[in-house]
Structure 1
Amino acid sequence: MDTEEICRNTETDKAKKWEMAFKARMRQVVPGLFLGNVEASHKRDMLQENRINAIVSLADARWVWWNSSTRNAGIPEHRHKWIQCVDSSTQDLFVHMSDICDFIDQMASPAFLSLSSLPVEGYHESNSESHDEPCNAVLVHCDLGISRSPTIIIAYLMRKFGISY
């Protein structure tokens, strides 16, 4: 393999990683609490499929755009907590932590709020609310879903269940 071919393969790999990074995706961390990226936050079909009706956005974007984008996805303004923050090791998320955790508590489903410990692997949906009842699932996202939003979810779970890191 010559140098030119190696460079082409490297560039192709980088392009695939960026394409994957910006593809809408979300994952349920615990029943009723989802982690995702910015693309997932305004995909109405994904939000409905996962029964998400509240969002925490951690991004350095203009609120005007964000507000109209999530409203178009069916999330009303009062169910959207937006924290303007950058993806940087110097960004202080701690100053927002209590407000964000309180918001998640206000928006979460009664079934989620009644959990007294982290669900174990193999948790079955039959243990949660029936599909006939509204499930107030919450999506926490940042741009790519790999730094700010996982930090908030970890902090929230630590607070909720009284566990240490």
Structure 2
Amino acid sequence: MEDVKLEFPSLPQCKEDAEDWSYPMRREMQEILPGLFLGPYSAAMKSKLSILQKYGITHVVCIRQSIEANFIKPNFQHLFRYLVLDIADNPIENIIRFFPMTKEFIDGCLQSGGKVLIHGNAGISRSAALVIAYIMETFGIKYR
């Protein structure tokens, strides 16, 4: 039987003009890969519409707990395509079950020339986990 070797694209190079990350930047969205941004809910609020438009955002993945649905919600449904995921923020939540639909949404966005913002409340746990999973799956990066 012949060994099958999977082929994955190479990770993109960092931008030459990329700014070194600093702690206050956690309140802003950050471009993780070309066209893929990660940030807190504050980066997707009504007051940030001009910034979202400046960076060409076309799609938004909104991750929240069901109890946060009254205040963490799509603000621009007429402007952006949304994927809203209600994911509990606790250590036993099976977050991986949300990955296939998230990957399909991100891939669809990027393949159509769009740009996507993935945000949670703070943008450091559930949303970051899905971005990491996306990078690992897309570029064939192993856990160990």
Q: TM-score, normalised by structure 2?
A: 0.71
TM-superposed deviation, 1:70? 2.8
Give, as a single letter, the amino acid of the residue that structure 2 aligns with 1:85: I
Equivalence for 1:91: 93
- 1:34 and 2:8 aligned: no
Equivalence for 2:76: 70
TM-superposed deviation, 1:65? 6.8
Give, as a single letter, the amino acid of the residue that structure 1 aligns with 2:73: W
Q: Secondary structure at the match of 2:97?
A: helix
State which of 79, 82, 89 in structure 2 corresponds to 1:80. Answer: 82
Runs ≥4 residues deviating over 6 A: none
Q: Structure 1 residues 70, 28: CA separation in 2 closer, same or farther (over 3 Å shift)? A: same
Unpaired runs of 5+ residues, structure 1, are 1-16, 111-134
Deviation by residue 1:81-116 (Cα, 9 ceiling, x = unmatched): 000012211221111111111111111145xxxxxx
State which of 55, 61, 65 in structure 2 corresponds to 1:56. Answer: 61
Deviation by residue 1:17-47 (Cα, 9 ceiling, x = unmatched): 9xx69x8510000111000111112321121
Instruction: Measure, in 1, the Cα distance between the counterparts of 2:106 and 2:97.
Output: 16
Let me know the Cα RMSD of the aligned residues.
2.4
TM-superposed deviation, 1:64? 9.3
Q: Secondary structure at the match of 1:58?
A: strand
- 1:164 and 2:142 aligned: yes
Matched pairs, number: 117
Q: Which has the larger Rg? A: 1
Q: TM-score, normalised by structure 1?
A: 0.63
Unpaired runs of 5+ residues, structure 2, are 1-22
Q: Structure 1 residues 63, 109: CA separation in 2 closer, same or farther (over 3 Å shift)? A: farther
Q: Residue 55 of structure 1 contacts residue 139 of structure 1 at CA under 8 Å; is this kept in 2?
A: yes
- 1:149 and 2:130 aligned: no
Instruction: Measure, in 2, the Cα distance between the counterparts of 1:142 and 1:106.
Output: 20
**Whose helix fraction is larger, Structure 1's or Structure 2's?**
1
